[in-house]
Amino acid sequence: MVPKDIRERYDKLKAAVNKYRTLRHVYDKEEISIEAEDTLKAELAGIEKDYPELITPDSPSQRVAGRPLPQFKKVRHKVAQWSFNDAFSIVDIQEYDTRVKRMLGFEPNATVVYTCELKIDGLKVVLEYEKGFLKTAATRGDGIVGEDVTHNIRTIESVPLRLARPVDAIVEGEVWMSEQALKQVNAGRKKNDEPLFQNPRNAAAGSIRQLDPKVAAARGLDTFIYDVAQSQELLPATQFEELEYLRGLGFKVNPHCELAGSVEEIIEYWEKWKTKSKSQGYWIDGVVVKVNERRLQERLGYTGKAPRFAVAFKFPAEQVTTVVEDIALQVGRTGVLTPVAHLRPVLVAGSTVSRATLHNEDEIKRLDVRVGDTVILQKAGDVIPDIVRVLTELRPKSAKAYKWPTRVAECGGDGSLERVPGQAAWRCVYKNSFAQQRRVLRHFASKGALHIEGLGPSTVDALMEKGLVQHFDDFFTLNEGDVLTLEGFAELSAKKLIESIASKKKTLLSRLLNGLSINHVGEETAILLAHNFKTIDDVAHASEDDLAAIEGIGPIVAKSIFDWFREAVNRELVGRLKKHLTIQSEKISRRVLAEKMPLAGKTFVLTGSLESMSRDEAKEKLRQLGANVANSVSKNTYAVVAGEEAGTKLDKARELGVQVLTEREFLKLIA
């Protein structure tokens, strides 16, 4: 018997996957990303694995995506068209290799050679040649019947109208559009008030399905051909040689294929292209792994929808689906409450995520997110996990709208809350709750602030619970005996911690300002203040107008800094810290900025990872040259430095027309 909740979930998943696949493959519309759709399919397949009695012929797992559109002439494929099964992790590809060897009757340590090819994210086409001349071109459709798109395929320069030899052949490949071509197409559509294409894959599919070939001809389409479905000539003995055979006939073949003699080499190829994929100008969403020898391919054969001798090894998804298991409130350093979604753990962009911020009450209402909901989770490049959409068709009947509380115990006192004036945020009325102080003290010792090694979150918590630390300056009055009272500390480790704390008694003004947990003052703002004021007393005595006059500090931030230093308890705290600390000045005179700093006044944003240095090192080099470093892209940004796996900041830069520097261009600039 299948449990009722499992059956209900399965039925909803099946309906949702069928809906999104039909929109994508039949109507070229993308309501959710293909990665999010993949995770729905994976969950569905997992249920079918546990409860095979649920599988029916109309399950999305049992058929090839797509259906011919009625306005196109239909083409019945002479060779059935297949889609690949997917592997999403290193464990998946290891299991695939084990399965291949088992089905071939090989020993586990036997060698199977594979061909690794890039998986181009475009539209699959099937080309038929008769005596060397292009006869028909069709989409994959449902695998049995496709759409006749010969009139449009003939407009693509990389498709030979006549082969190098007069052979009868059927070949398969991918039609794709470059990101540059997509920009040009969307610019024209925007000018004509037409809806923009969401990505190159949709644009390529929409272009091939035009009734007027002049439209397709104007869109800069291209192809990569990767397989011979049928030929009157004797085919090569291996997949790798088959790619050369296709080149010899005159087809454009992707040049980045490699042989792999082990599963470790497959993973190495996948890891390399996971990093390099965004530098090619065309979309790549994974690699295709095929058993290299044709005779072994024939022995392995096919399942109902996919070849057993090949698998699509997908890159880590930047968008996935998961389920919200709870919504909890977290008290921040400034007393502001942040709602956090507790999620069913899911792998996204290479790491397992079980938490995602919901930002504030208004965001919860906008998304209408509820406990039990299936959501799309996004983590692009260096962006923290974010819920971007609720799939309401998968919502369980028991899900209830989230009700914002009036009191929160972690706030301390009577737990009462207040709305921050002019903002969507709520905060604790009582300002000194244990939860809030814990975060404040953890931050003071963290890498971006005083950077006290050995003074991690658990040690800070233990010191607070013992009553040894209540304020920032208490760290500098600790001795070895105090630390020895903490569980897990011995004489040597206690001595090391005290020495580590002592080494930070000489610190930069910017680090101290960042560590004070002044509302709206993070690392970048703290550096701006340190470049404009010589001492912390100068910052404390500055007027709101003085602060707001600094480029990069607006009136809201200026008021927050001004108000913080007006509170007596904060002035007393700074006075006590000055007794323990030597605070180094970082002020840069305007004359030096203007005359000697080549990047003075220019604002940079970094996204993605750099090979030659860490993000912090890159920021420091920019600041040494007088530049400002910001966390978000605006029209005032001078340039965005885009490393590997750049996130949404790169998209924002392109949208605003901000120049984008590659790592090589960045290194040349700072040299």
Q: Mind telling me the catalytic residues?
A: 119
Q: What's the CA gap between 558 and 545, in Å, rounded?
A: 8
Q: Could you tell me the two tokens for 217?
A: 């001809």
Bridge-based pairing state of the strands 258-260 and 284-291? unpaired
In this structure, which long-range contacts are made by residues 450-457, counting pairs with CB atoms below 8 Å and at least 24 apart in sequence? 450/504, 450/507, 450/511, 450/512, 450/515, 451/504, 451/511, 452/500, 452/501, 452/504, 453/500, 454/493, 454/496, 454/497, 454/500, 455/497, 455/500, 455/501
Contact between 284 and 119 under an 8 Å Cβ cutoff? The reply is yes
Q: Which residues pair with 401 in a beta bridge?
A: 370
d(CA 2, CA 419): 47
| DSSP per-residue string spanning 240-278 | HHHHHHHHHHT----S--EEESSHHHHHHHHHHHHHHGG
Residue (of 90, 168, 177, 178) closest to 132 by Cα position: 168
667 CA to centre of own chain: 25
Q: What distance lies between CA 268 and its chain's CA centroid? A: 21
| Number of neighbours of residue 78 by Cβ within 10 angstroms | 11
Query: What are the CA-CA distances from residue 129 to residues 122, 126, 241 (Å)?
Result: 22, 10, 20
CA distance 533 to 583: 12
Q: Which residues contact 400 (CB under 8 A, 6 or more apart)?
A: 370, 371
Cα distance between residue 29 and residue 98, in whole Å: 37
The structure tokens listed for 133 are 């001349």
Residue 114's SS3 state is strand
Q: Look up residue 92 and give its two tokens.
A: 């998946």
